[in-house]
Amino acid sequence: MWAYRLNIPSHWRLLSERYRLAGGYCENCGHKMFPKQKICPKCGSEKIKPVELPRRGKVITYTIVQTPPRGFEYYTPYILAIIELEDGTRVFGQLTDIEPSEIQEGMEVEMTIRKVRVSGESGAIAYAYKFRPLE
């Protein structure tokens, strides 16, 4: 869902500073979406271009997950939120570096990339975007 793999085995902290959310932009109606889709959910156009979305936004609403999917138990409880980015695009993601009791709707956050799990014998490492409070 919100986790996806990046083909970069190291330097992920550096990556975090440079990476942007890769969304889609509808050339027909101007709607921005994340993740990128083949058909615009607003107007049905297929003229979708890749676009970099802003890293910063604010928390619109959130939920605290007490029963995570397999492989994410270590992070229990974790917080999922809908973030409205600076350009108005809404994205769904996990909050990090914050206690559930500290979250407030409207608080400002920025995207970061975090290692989320190391799976089995392959040793594969997955990364995910998350949002952390602005300092």
CB of 37 to Zn ion, least distance (A): 10
CB of 89 to Zn ion, least distance (A): 13
CB of 105 to Zn ion, least distance (A): 28
* Minimum CB distance to Zn ion smaller for 26 or for 113: 26
* Minimum CB distance to Zn ion smaller for 40 or for 59: 40
Instruction: Provide CB contacts within 8 A for 4, sequence distance 6+.
Output: 126, 127, 128
Instruction: By CB under 5 A, name the binding residues for Zn ion.
Output: 26, 28-29, 31, 40, 42-43, 45
CB of 88 to Zn ion, least distance (A): 14
* Minimum CB distance to Zn ion smaller for 28 or for 61: 28
Tokens, residue 90: 């809404």
d(CA 29, CA 123): 43
DSSP run (H or E) holding 49:
strand 48-53
Query: Percent helix, strand and coil across the chain, each rounded to 5?
Result: 10, 45, 45
* Minimum CB distance to Zn ion smaller for 8 or for 43: 43
